[in-house]
Amino acid sequence: MAEQSAKLLEICLENPLLKNLVKALAAELRTGSDEEGDWITAKEAMAILQITSATTLKKYRDQNEIKYSAPPGMKHIFYSKTSILEFLERKSNR
């Protein structure tokens, strides 16, 4: 019985659909594409970018290098963590 269960588990793990699901999940976790958790404050954005100047952050915003959101009626601007990580990846040496 235990041998049959092991074979059944082995067959399921080799299923291409399962492999694709695991790959998709891993990609989503890597990019942090959770919409609710993707928006961060300017302070957090500057820490990730390793900058201390709000002017540099504004420059990146103005040049459409990173995505941002300024919700109506709020003083604060929020930044997409995913777009910041993509920006860093584009600017990195390969």
Residue 24 has pLDDT above 80, yes or no: no
* pLDDT tier at 84, thresholds 50, 70, 90: very high
Same domain for 80 and 41? yes
Same domain for 44 and 90? yes
Same domain for 23 and 40? no
**pTM greater than 0.85:** no
Residue 91 has pLDDT above 60, yes or no: yes
With a CB cutoff of 8 Å and minimum separation 6, the contacts of 69 are 39, 77, 78, 79, 80
Same domain for 27 and 39? no
d(CA 83, CA 63): 13
Mean pLDDT over 23-31 rounds to: 60
With a CB cutoff of 8 Å and minimum separation 6, the contacts of 84 are 40, 45, 48, 49, 66
Q: Which domain holds residue 55?
A: 35-94
Split into its structural domains, the chain has a count of: 2
What pLDDT was estimated at residue 14? 64
